[in-house]
A and B are shown apart, each in its own frame.
Chain A
């Protein structure tokens, strides 16, 4: 059974700092990995999608890496801003034809002005 773990559970940083969020998964046979942003009481916004054959994806100040063999992914946020404050979720789609996303519990990020 696929399990996704995210550390830390919460992170508070001053504005402008670069930071890294971590995600690990137990079954390396994944189809892809996604990072999402969730604002309080709101839905999910997909930030980055990494296919199993890729090692990283970049979008603006965000960079996500994937090491499938070790079951790890990181989300790097450069020059953090107060508007980046949200919960960041990592989710994997396991191979085998299933479309099911397995989510971690998320990392709650607070960027202080």
Chain B
């Protein structure tokens, strides 16, 4: 299967700072990338969908000014958590697909802890 690499796998940051998470498709061009968030004992929830070269589409309840998504190339999307607070601590995971594929492939996820 196709490979999606997410970095970093774990990050701890201070409250009020910003954190950037990268999602890369290593062996295919990702026309669409998805960002999910998973709180403990909760379902994975889609945060936003991004298509290369256009603005991301955010799900209801997700603050687009807080969670900045950039999909500037066909192999890279970034999620920046701005002015992070402890309640933003969560597991963030991306997935990517090429537009002719049914399946999207997932990265390994990033565990964010805001202290």
Q: Which of A's residues lie within 8 Å of B, judged by CB?
A: 4, 32, 34, 36, 41-46, 49, 89, 91, 99-106
Contacts and interface: CB of A to CB of B under 8 A. Distances in A.
Contact of A101 (B1, B41, B46): B46
B51 to A, nearest CB: 10
Contacts of B106: 36, 43-46
Interface of B: 1, 4, 6, 9, 32, 34, 41-46, 49, 59, 91, 93, 95, 97, 102-109, 111
Contact of B43 (A32, A34, A100, A103): A103
B103 A41 contact: no
Given A99-B32, A101-B46, A103-B43, A43 B103 contact: no
A42 B108 contact: yes
Contact of A43 (B6, B42, B43, B102): B6
B102 A49 contact: yes
Contacts of B105: 46
B106 to A, nearest CB: 4
A105 B44 CA distance: 7
Nearest to A46: B103
A45 B108 CA distance: 9
A106 to B, nearest CB: 8
Contacts of B111: 41
Contacts of B44: 44, 89, 91, 101, 103
Contact of A105 (B42, B46, B102, B109): B42
Nearest to B91: A41
B49 A43 contact: no
A43 B46 contact: no
A33 to B, nearest CB: 12
Contacts of A100: 34, 46, 49, 59
A91 B102 CA distance: 14
